[in-house]
Structure 1
Amino acid sequence: MVSRPAPASALPPGAELPEHAGFWRAVLDDVRDPVFVRDPDGALRWANAAAERLAADDAPEFVDVTETTGKVGASGVLRPARIRALPGGWRAWTVPDEGRRRPEEFLAEAGPKLAAARGRHGTARVIAELAASALGDCAFVLLPTTRGRWEWWSSGGTGAPAHGRIRRVPPQLAPVVADAFTAVGRPEARSVPGGEVAALPSVVAEQFQAHSDVSVTSLGEGVPGAVLVGRRGEPAFGSAQPRAIGAFAAAAGTALANAHRFALQEEATRGLESTLRPQPPARVEGANFELWYEPAVGVLGVGGDFYDVLGRDDGSAFVVVGDICGKGAEAAALTGRVRHSLAALHLVERDGRTLLRLLNELLIAGGSNRFATLVLGSVAPADGGLELTLASGGHPAPLVLRRGGGVEEISVPGTLVGISPQARFAEATTHLAEGDVCLLYTDGVTEARNRTESAELFGDERLYTVLEDCVGLPAQEVVGRLREAVREWLGNSGHDDIAVLAIEAASPVE
């Protein structure tokens, strides 16, 4: 059956659609495509903007095929249509724009790619590639840079993807493009006049010479810049092309804003790391220092565990291995405070117990709710080896691997640092003969959790077993074997901060 009702423009004055939610929801579900609404008698009563453009003021034809499908004739062409039954016998005829993607589909694909881009350069390059592949044939991303210039990224057109810098065109020569750089609010695509395209620098203008349409849009999120898109043929998204460009530009602006924030965070992180990360150990005659420093995974490449080996004018060195309660940025910040305080104090104070007492007072006065465990002292050359003087504040006892056999514990009891004004600390001195190795470590070693049984810790017993098999070996080999054993125990599971300092009385240099 074929019927020819009055055109959409001939709706009777004051005509209204039924006022119930089910009717409107069903109609509005498909407003992106041409939608015609007919009453129970088959008369056309309403059409959306897309349908009016399709009919072009002619009377559309409606051909029923099945209860849910039909055809709509407009401008001499019959197009497939979906028929949706509405309350009261009304029906909505929707003409899907076959062969064209919906903007939502493109944006759903573009979103993860924009999110995965890294840095300003990488993000701008991805924006140009996505715009050229889906919105047109050629795309330029323009962002302001130093000395009054624009930085650009291109994709599509007559050449390969490219990047460079160009002079900024005065606003009077390119007002539409200039306005896009400073526009606020949601991005909207605007057509760029041919004369203005020609006024752009040649690297841009030449790419757009053969394009039937060039549009520009701003970037959202307060990001200064613009995206230029040129196409030779019909718009990829039909009448939804401006909406697709604007929505994509908003997503691109968000990606650039995130890239900028991430870059600032990286810069701040690198600055913090440079001040918090321990430096290579000082040189002491007759001593070898071997290190294993492995912070827990986090934003910063440092954590709550730390070490330092700082040289003194008399040829000795101040050594410290410590553990700040907790992990992450807050623990790393307190770690820096403790390290820098000790670096200053050791220049005027050699007694380890006094250093721990002063640090204890400093932490309590600072109001921190975190505590620390430390072992610190001096390493000095001595006849036949090294003299090692150590004081401890609640830290695991230092262990000495004697070249002649056995593993000894240096007993230096002491209370946690930063908890009580009445804290007490002890100090002990030991001699390292040639080939002896003293191991200072944090509890990240003994409290490492098994890869399959997380409740099972590496523990003191396994530590002693590993070290007993290392007696007589150089410090480098001792630390290497311990690291291998702990990593095997951990597998791929996470771990707390780990710091290990091995001090070896080395053979004299001949």
Structure 2
Amino acid sequence: MVSRPAPASALPPGAELPEHAGFWRAVLDDVRDPVFVRDPDGVLRWANSAGERLAAGAVPEFVDVTETTGKVDAGGVLRPARIGALPDGWQAWTVPDGGRRRPEEFLAEVGPRLAAARGRHGTARLIAELAASALGDCVFVLLPTTRGRWEWWSSGGAAAPGHGRIRRVPAQAAPVLAGAFAAAGRPEARAVPGSEVAALPQVVAEQFRAHSDVSVASLGGEGVAGAVLVGRRGEPPFGAAQSRAVEGFATAAGTALANAHRFALQEEATRGLETTLRPQDPARMDGANFELWYEPAAGVLGVGGDFYDVLARDDGSAFVVVGDICGKGAEAAALTGRVRHSLAALHLVERDGRTLLRLLNELLIAGGSNRFATLVLGSVATTDSGLEVTLASGGHPAPLVLRRGGGVEEISVPGTLVGISPQARFAEATTQLSEGDVCLLYTDGVTEARNITESTELFGDERLYTVLEDCVGLPAQEVVQRLREAVREWLGDSGHDDIAVLAIEATAHAE
């Protein structure tokens, strides 16, 4: 028979230990786990050094879960604890693993902040700050940039948070760091040798000089290369789980950088798309003044389905159009671009408005889009007495004329929707504007604006006429301004559909 040694905790026969409090306090004070001693009334009577550090000057709260387990609330964080029964109803509460936070708690805390980060610079700076707050004493985030250099962001350490560029260190001089940049898949925390730290540019090496441990993890894995360097002077904040905490954080940080990169590409594409879709300032024309109100519905793009154009012609006249593409958002904006560019080309070879609408109708049907459009378009030409405005319409709200002498007139221009049927028919009408008269072209974003307090009530034609009747005799700029104010007051801070308004005013000819 093989005899087994007694457990390490077993005492030799007849041995006794001291019973005075000083002895046990000295023993427990060297225990790394926080220990709290409570009296029979539940009052905290003593804590060892680790417990005092965990409490940080505050009185912790104790929550019983079972007879032998509970939770200690220190600084708003609940940590699991073991409850040991002592003589006469006293208890010893021990927080295992030194009271350290679990990596999962840290990652749950920083995850939403990383997800909300925007931009490469802002995301990298936040990564450095969050890592320095919990993982180590000094952190550098390194991302590759142009001309063989790294861009860096730092936090913690002796210096203030910083940002700059440094030369890349050859792989031969820093193989561990080079491996982190080249790594694919889940990040792995690896120790960086002191010789490799010393080979880094001074701005980095100087910050890590007094650190006992420097580790690196990849920030890549989703198409974005990078690395995070974490330096520590003392014990790892997460104990045996330190590597797991660094690797989990690097994974979340790499995802945040990849999202920032994708967001930047989307913003660049959006700006490029807006440049081609956004209407330009109206052309200048002697004897005419063009005033605008263009307000797309809220969305990613700064353009929408409503549009306008005022394009100059060689004979001194102008081509004008106000339109509304069915729907809103990116798809409507894209079709808006097609319509505007098509009309910009067609009007150079065709002046008749009905023919332009017929050609556009055929283009939309041939393009296979399931969206339709309403438009009013035509020509503005000078005459001896003012302006001659010839307009054709395809299912659009009727143009209105504010006569300087009094009254608001409707120009009847019937026509069917554009892009629905090959048998669509369009009409054309001509009106004369004397000096001071204003012709108003608008989209239904005006009349269909919903009231801030009663969403089923629309601004409507009647209110539009009331506003315009009060504007008779005013210049076009004032007419548009008053209409905008009336609609905005009706809407309040609620959303609205795209709005486009073009006012054509007959003015005196230049001398």
TM-score bin, normalised by smaller chain: 0.7 to 0.9
Q: Distance in 2 between matches of 1:162 and 1:289?
A: 52
Query: What SS does the corresponding residue of 1:347 show, helix, strand or coil?
Result: coil
Q: Distance in 1 between matches of 2:269 and 2:327?
A: 21
Q: Distance in 2 between matches of 1:142 and 1:474?
A: 60
Q: In the alignment, residue 323 of structure 1 is paired with which amino acid? A: D
Match of 1:181 in 2: 181
Q: Distance in 1 between matches of 2:275 and 2:242?
A: 49
- Aligned pairs for 1:58-207 (under 5 A) are 67-68=67-68, 81-82=81-82, 95-207=95-207
1:81 is displaced (CA, Å) by 4.8
5+ residue gaps in structure 2?
Answer: 10-32, 35-65, 71-79, 85-92
1:224 is displaced (CA, Å) by 1.0
**Structure 1 residues 319, 69: CA separation in 2 closer, same or farther (over 3 Å shift)?**
closer
Q: In the alignment, residue 181 of structure 1 is paired with which amino acid? A: F
Q: Distance in 1 between matches of 2:261 and 2:235?
A: 35
Match of 2:423 in 1: 422
Task: Say if 2:243 is the partner of 1:242.
Answer: yes
1:95 is displaced (CA, Å) by 4.8
Q: Distance in 1 between matches of 2:69 and 2:500?
A: 72
1:127 is displaced (CA, Å) by 0.5
**Structure 1 residues 94, 415: CA separation in 2 closer, same or farther (over 3 Å shift)?**
same
1:368 is displaced (CA, Å) by 1.3
Query: What SS does the corresponding residue of 2:96 show, helix, strand or coil?
Result: coil
Query: What SS does the corresponding residue of 1:333 show, helix, strand or coil?
Result: helix
- Aligned pairs for 1:290-301 (under 5 A) are 290-301=291-302
Between the two proteins, the alignment pairs up a number of residues equal to 435
Q: In the alignment, residue 406 of structure 1 is paired with which amino acid? A: G
1:221 is displaced (CA, Å) by 2.6
Match of 1:211 in 2: 211
**Structure 1 residues 156, 291: CA separation in 2 closer, same or farther (over 3 Å shift)?**
same
Contact 1:221–1:250 (CA under 8 A) maintained in structure 2: no
Query: What SS does the corresponding residue of 2:97 show, helix, strand or coil?
Result: coil
**Structure 1 residues 239, 407: CA separation in 2 closer, same or farther (over 3 Å shift)?**
same
Match of 2:226 in 1: 225
- Aligned pairs for 1:346-365 (under 5 A) are 346-365=347-366
Q: Distance in 1 between matches of 2:428 and 2:211?
A: 82
1:83 is displaced (CA, Å) by 5.8
Q: In the alignment, residue 191 of structure 2 is paired with which amino acid? A: S
Q: Distance in 2 between matches of 1:188 and 1:282?
A: 61
* TM-score (ref. length: structure 2): 0.82
**Structure 1 residues 410, 67: CA separation in 2 closer, same or farther (over 3 Å shift)?**
closer
- Aligned pairs for 1:235-384 (under 5 A) are 235-384=236-385
String of CA shifts for 1:282-326, please: whole Å, max 9, x gaps: 011011111111111111111111000000011111000000111
Instruction: Give me the identity figure in percent.
Output: 88
1:159 is displaced (CA, Å) by 1.3
Q: Distance in 1 between matches of 2:228 and 2:418?
A: 58
Q: Distance in 2 between matches of 1:279 and 1:403?
A: 29
- Aligned pairs for 1:376-415 (under 5 A) are 376-415=377-416
Q: Distance in 1 between matches of 2:184 and 2:163?
A: 26
Q: Distance in 1 between matches of 2:6 and 2:314?
A: 103
Match of 1:500 in 2: 501
1:422 is displaced (CA, Å) by 1.2
Contact 2:403–2:472 (CA under 8 A) maintained in structure 1: yes
Contact 1:310–1:317 (CA under 8 A) maintained in structure 2: yes
String of CA shifts for 1:45-65, please: whole Å, max 9, x gaps: xxxxxxxxxxxxxxxxxxxxx
Q: In the alignment, residue 190 of structure 1 is paired with which amino acid? A: R
Q: Distance in 2 between matches of 1:5 and 1:398?
A: 102
1:447 is displaced (CA, Å) by 0.6
String of CA shifts for 1:425-464, please: whole Å, max 9, x gaps: 1111111111111100000100111111111111000000
1:104 is displaced (CA, Å) by 2.2
Q: Distance in 1 between matches of 2:451 and 2:305?
A: 21
Match of 1:54 in 2: none
5+ residue gaps in structure 1?
Answer: 9-32, 35-65, 71-79, 85-92
Q: Distance in 2 between matches of 1:222 and 1:285?
A: 56
Q: In the alignment, residue 474 of structure 2 is paired with which amino acid? A: L
Query: What SS does the corresponding residue of 1:97 show, helix, strand or coil?
Result: helix
1:131 is displaced (CA, Å) by 1.0
1:113 is displaced (CA, Å) by 1.8
Q: In the alignment, residue 175 of structure 2 is paired with which amino acid? A: P
Q: Distance in 2 between matches of 1:245 and 1:106?
A: 10
Contact 1:303–1:328 (CA under 8 A) maintained in structure 2: yes
String of CA shifts for 1:441-494, please: whole Å, max 9, x gaps: 000100111111111111000000010011111111111111111111111211
Aligned Cα root-mean-square deviation (Å): 2.0
Query: What SS does the corresponding residue of 1:367 show, helix, strand or coil?
Result: coil
1:140 is displaced (CA, Å) by 0.4
1:7 is displaced (CA, Å) by 6.0
Contact 1:292–1:498 (CA under 8 A) maintained in structure 2: yes
* TM-score (ref. length: structure 1): 0.82
Match of 1:24 in 2: none
1:112 is displaced (CA, Å) by 2.1
Contact 1:402–1:437 (CA under 8 A) maintained in structure 2: yes
String of CA shifts for 1:177-221, please: whole Å, max 9, x gaps: 110001122112111110000001111101100111111001143
Q: In the alignment, residue 418 of structure 2 is paired with which amino acid? A: V
Contact 2:286–2:510 (CA under 8 A) maintained in structure 1: no
Q: Distance in 2 between matches of 1:259 and 1:67?
A: 49
Q: In the alignment, residue 412 of structure 2 is paired with which amino acid? A: S
Q: Distance in 2 between matches of 1:173 and 1:429?
A: 81
1:167 is displaced (CA, Å) by 1.0
Contact 2:305–2:329 (CA under 8 A) maintained in structure 1: yes
**Structure 1 residues 353, 104: CA separation in 2 closer, same or farther (over 3 Å shift)?**
same
String of CA shifts for 1:104-128, please: whole Å, max 9, x gaps: 2222221222122211111001111
Contact 2:394–2:416 (CA under 8 A) maintained in structure 1: yes
Q: In the alignment, residue 432 of structure 1 is paired with which amino acid? A: L
Q: Distance in 2 between matches of 1:435 and 1:222?
A: 62
- Aligned pairs for 1:30-41 (under 5 A) are none
Q: Distance in 1 between matches of 2:470 and 2:265?
A: 48
Q: Distance in 1 between matches of 2:67 and 2:458?
A: 70
Q: Distance in 2 between matches of 1:94 and 1:7?
A: 20
**Structure 1 residues 7, 351: CA separation in 2 closer, same or farther (over 3 Å shift)?**
farther
Q: Distance in 1 between matches of 2:362 and 2:185?
A: 55
